[in-house]
Amino acid sequence: MKAAAGSFCVLFWQIIFFVSVVLEGINGAQANGWLNAHATFYGVNEDPATLGGACGYGNTMLAGFGVNTAAVSGILFRGGEACGACYQVMCNYKLDPKWCLQRRAVTVSATNFCPPNNNGGWCNPPHHHFDMSMPAFLRIARQGNEGIVPVIYRRVACKRRGGVRFTLKGQLSFNMVMISNVGGSGAAKGAWIRGSRMRSGTWIPMHRNWGANWQSSIDLRNQQLSFKLTLIDGKALVFYNVVPSTWRFGQTFSSQNQFS
């Protein structure tokens, strides 16, 4: 009986120690501005460049995002507001030392939406989840695991090459513009457009159609186009005459300006 009682006491204190380590890892991460989430990777045979669907980026390599991309769950995606945002993700070694690489972090750009499956999936509300490209996932986790690891993450500034890009995707008098390669906080909060024939100082507000696509129903064909952007952190820039009057739908124009 004494041996059994002793074994129970040892097991009890092992459980207490394990729980305390877990809570320490979680609370410590939150105290330092990190939040808890989980991460998976999408299909081995899928090209990282295709992970831009719900934001409208198409080929994310051509859009300037590289291979470190991720689809994010709804609580992060927020109807497209997260499109282009950057997150630093680190595998939570304290919770999963078997599969996490210690002290490894990767910065990913949110380029797609990870939809809920309404069957207890990791992208169901209220989960914070990153479905990452395999190159990004293997920066923080060991290859050959079960495909999901606990992570901590935080928002970080995006570092982009070149200027902000504007892709004209509408038709006739309907102007839809995809805004990509945004630096700084990476995600646009508001967008305005102005044609060269409009009265000076007049800006037409655009509305998010879906993802990174913003719309306006003003006919601005055969005019130079200028844009004004405000990011989610409040920073704003004006891009004067970034699109020439000879523009056609389907073309992409890169500005000289970039958010820092």
Task: Please report the pLDDT score of residue 27 as a whole number.
Answer: 45
Instruction: Quickly state the pLDDT bin for 160 (edges 50, 70, 90).
Output: very high
Sign of CA dihedral 52, 53, 55, 56: positive
Where in the chain are all domains bearing CATH 2.40.40.10?
Answer: 25-156
Q: For 224, what's the count of Cα atoms within 13 Å in the CB-facing half-sphere?
A: 8
DSSP letter (8 states) at residue 49: G
Residue 227 neighbours by CB under 8 Å, 6+ apart: 166, 177, 179, 191, 192, 193, 194, 238, 239, 242
Residue 161 neighbours by CB under 8 Å, 6+ apart: 64, 181
Span between the terminal Cα atoms of the chain, in Å: 68
Instruction: Quickly state the pLDDT bin for 216 (edges 50, 70, 90).
Output: very high
Average pLDDT over residues 140-157: 90
Instruction: Quickly state the pLDDT bin for 151 (edges 50, 70, 90).
Output: very high
Where in the chain are all domains bearing CATH 2.60.40.760?
Answer: 165-254
Tell me the pLDDT tens digit for each residue of 172-201.
878 899 999 999 999 999 999 999 999 888
Task: Please report the pLDDT score of residue 63 as a whole number.
Answer: 81
Tell me the pLDDT tens digit for each residue of 110-148.
999 999 987 778 999 999 999 999 999 999 999 876 689
Instruction: Quickly state the pLDDT bin for 93 (edges 50, 70, 90).
Output: very high
Tell me the pLDDT tens digit for each residue of 7-47.
444 333 443 333 333 334 444 445 468 999 999 998 655 55
- In this structure, what are the phi and psi dihedrals at residue 45, rounded to the nearest 5 degrees? -90, 0
Q: Please provide the CATH number assigned to the domain covering 165-254.
A: 2.60.40.760
State the architecture of 25-156 in CATH terms: Beta Barrel (2.40)
Provide the H-helix boundaries in the chain.
2-31, 74-77, 134-137
